[in-house]
Amino acid sequence: MSIGFRDKLYWRQVNDGLYHCFRRARTARVERAWVSLCGDHWRYRSGGQKCSRPEPHARCAACDCAEMIRRGWCESGPASPKEDQ
């Protein structure tokens, strides 16, 4: 089984306006529990269970490429369907 399906990845928008893909950090520093796949951003919390993937133009390119490699894909994953409001 691919590592991408054993652990949970979360797409979250950060202060640079882009969505970044976060994974649980493997570190002893408890206060920094989540790190972006590009390595540029840390979060203290995941921000909930929602793990929908944003539109490709809104994603960090480095995180998108890292997710593709991690999951063994040859192209970007599709955006998640919009939720009914």
Position 45 scores a pLDDT of 76
Position 28 scores a pLDDT of 60
Contact (CB, 8 A) for 43 and 33 = yes
Position 84 scores a pLDDT of 46
Tens of each residue's pLDDT in the chain, 85 residues: 555 456 688 899 998 899 999 998 876 665 668 899 999 998 887 777 777 899 999 999 999 999 999 889 999 989 988 764 4
Position 50 scores a pLDDT of 76
